[in-house]
Amino acid sequence: TGNDVFPGLTISQTKAEEFLSRDLEKFESFVEDAVEVQLNDNQFSALVCFCFNVGPGGFGDSTLLKLLNQGNYPGAANQFPVWNKVNGEPWLGLTRRRLAERALFLGKPWQSFLTYEGTGEEVTGEIISEAPRTLKLTAPVMQGEDVRQVQEALKTAGINLEPDGFFGNDTDKAVRQFQQQKGLTADGVVGAQTRKELGL
């Protein structure tokens, strides 16, 4: 924002949003100029978010942009998680942000990555970022698109449950009921086996 911002500056919410939207416009036009291939809305949003965070210089020199401009969308997507380090150390906040951007870029549910708890070391591999999280009753409750998908699948399987995207007591009961029907350990934990039975 150039010289508009200085230490001790206090601004109104409206003014802050004005600064932000002006900033975002700069990054949007930078992405538009730098990218030579077709983008859908999700891909564009993910790239603007990425560029806003790493800066136009980082984005402009990135392997991500090079691969993207060669038309290698999957290769470009897998470059997001590489940018998760601070002083050479993986940082959970950045890991979450990068995985969310990558999922958005791929047009997949991204919200669950905001609570991702992995170490970040294995994040650059395809496996971890695709691996669904294990869902179970926790406090605070797990929520997100992945919970809703499980709930929808339980409902389809004939379990009486209203999908709301929150893994609460009702979902816990529903999962146990389903596991019992399928001869699985009725522990209420949605892992690989339960997902497989649900067709997810």
Same domain, 21 and 88: yes
How does pLDDT run across 129-161, given as a tens digit for each residue? 445 677 788 877 888 778 888 999 999 999 999
User: Final residue of a domain: which of 76, 100, 130?
Assistant: 130
Please report, for the domain that includes residue 34, its CATH number. 1.10.530.40
Query: Is residue 138 one of the residues assigned to a domain?
Result: no
171-175: long-range contacts at Cβ-Cβ below 8 A with a sequence spacing of 24 or more?
A: 171/137, 171/147, 172/136, 172/137, 175/150
Residues 69 and 9 in one domain: yes
Task: Write the DSSP string, 39-55.
Answer: --HHHHHHHHHHHHHHH
φ and ψ at residue 90, rounded to 5 degrees: -60, 140
Q: Say how many domains are in the chain.
A: 2
Task: Determine, yes or no, domain membership for 120.
Answer: yes
Do residues 53 and 151 both lie within one domain? no
Regarding pTM above 0.75, the answer is no
Q: Is residue 139 part of a domain?
A: no
% pLDDT > 90, the chain: 45
Round the average pLDDT of the chain to a whole number and report it. Answer: 84
